[in-house]
Amino acid sequence: MSKTMDEMQKEVDDFISQFKVGYFSPLALMARMTEETGELAREINHYYGEKQKKETEDEKSLTEEMGDVLYVLITMANSLDIDLEEAFDRVMKKFNSRDKNRFERIDED
């Protein structure tokens, strides 16, 4: 079952609202985003790069690591009262206007 971004933001908010600590500060969330992005980069390097995993390292999936990044992004957006559906619409409008002729299109053959 697919979820909208609004539903995901609400689900994260419901989860975090259970705890007295609430949302961490934007700076702490940025540090966490950097950490999770680094873990994703490490896994991509193991899958597609030359760096092999150590025997002691656990196998992690790219799906799990991307999920971690998405969770932290949603947490940060919620803490800053940012609607991610609106943010996504804005960025797609920008790409569709600014970059519409940037790359060779499939239908231009």
Say what the pLDDT of residue 83 is: 98
Q: Is the pLDDT reported for residue 96 higher than 80? A: yes
pLDDT of 18-52, one tens digit each? 999 999 999 999 999 999 999 999 999 988 888 77
Say what the pLDDT of residue 54 is: 75
- Mean pLDDT for 78-100 is 93
pTM score, whole prediction: 0.85
- Mean pLDDT for 99-105 is 79
DSSP labels for 63-88? HHHHHHHHHHHHHHHHHTT--HHHHH
Q: How far apart are CA 5 and CA 88, in angstroms?
A: 10
The CATH number that domain 5-100 falls under is: 1.10.287.1080
In order of 20, 24, 70, 96, 103, the CA distances from 27 in angstroms are 19, 8, 17, 31, 36
